[in-house]
Amino acid sequence: MNEVNFPKTNRGQETLDKILKAAEELFSSNGYYNTSITDITQNASIAPGTFYIYFKDKKSVFCYLVEELSKTLRTAIHRSTKCCKTRYELEYIGFKTFFDFVSEHRGLYKIVWESQFVDESLFKNYYQGLAKGYIKGIKEAQKNNEIKSELDPETIVYCLMGISNFIGLRWVIWKDTSVPEYVFEDMMKFIKEGTFTKQ
């Protein structure tokens, strides 16, 4: 976890939340390089010095937002898929959850994409962190003969993440709408026929 001084009081937590909310709003609308600490503190209605109680610089709060997004997304997908009986059902519900998550966190989604220009290692860590557990699940599904065993699991995972990312960009981010049902079903048909075994 990036360096953050976590508060020990409710009042301190409220202040940290104000900083994070302001930073998310400004980074997503203006971009990292066009946002200053002064902008963040003014938007959060706090004194400039208060920012440094929690974060050492602008990059620290940016990194924290990216790291928290990864953690929150993985938690949301885990919760929504924990009762799934098959790998295909897990993928189906998992993608649904991802698109709902993107709709609710449009600003943070933009921040992740900008992170590649702020700190390439942060960008890599975000996707590698998501991929790590995903690969493990795909390998397990291959052992259970649910997914084609001749396909490399890491390749499958990055293909699936790429599909979800660009479907999300095309409709949720660029068009500011939910992913149409026909698009989602076509996407899942493409994934099922290309990745899953016939059972």
| Percent of all residues in the chain with a pLDDT value above 70, rounded to a whole number | 99
Domain contains 2: no
How far does CA 32 lie from the centroid of its chain?
Answer: 17
Q: What's the pLDDT score for residue 2? A: 58
What are the tens digits of pLDDT across the range 112-159?
999 999 999 999 999 999 999 999 999 999 999 999 999 999 999 999
Does residue 56 sit within a domain? Answer: yes
Arithmetic mean of pLDDT, 172-194: 96
Structure tokens belonging to residue 90: 């897990």
| Residue 108: predicted pLDDT | 80
Question: Residue 54: pLDDT above 80?
Answer: yes
Could you tell me if residue 151 is inside a domain?
yes
Q: How sure is the predictor about 198, in pLDDT bands with cuts at 50, 70 and 90?
A: confident
In a domain, 104, yes or no: yes
Average pLDDT over residues 13-27: 95
Give domain status of residue 4, yes or no: no
- Band (pLDDT 50/70/90 cuts) for residue 3 is confident
Residue 187 lies in a domain: yes
Residue 139 lies in a domain: yes
How confident is the model at residue 69, as a pLDDT?
Answer: 87
Domain that holds residue 117: 10-195
Residue 169 — very low, low, confident or very high, per pLDDT cuts 50/70/90?
A: very high
Mean pLDDT value across residues 90-101: 97
Q: What is the mean pLDDT of the chain?
A: 95
CATH number, domain at 80? 1.10.357.10
* Res 19 pLDDT > 70: yes
What pLDDT, on a 0 to 100 scale, did the predictor assign at position 109?
A: 84
Q: Specify the number of domains making up the chain.
A: 1
Look up residue 115 and give its two tokens: 């992170």
Q: What is the pLDDT of residue 50?
A: 97
- pTM attached to this predicted model: 0.89
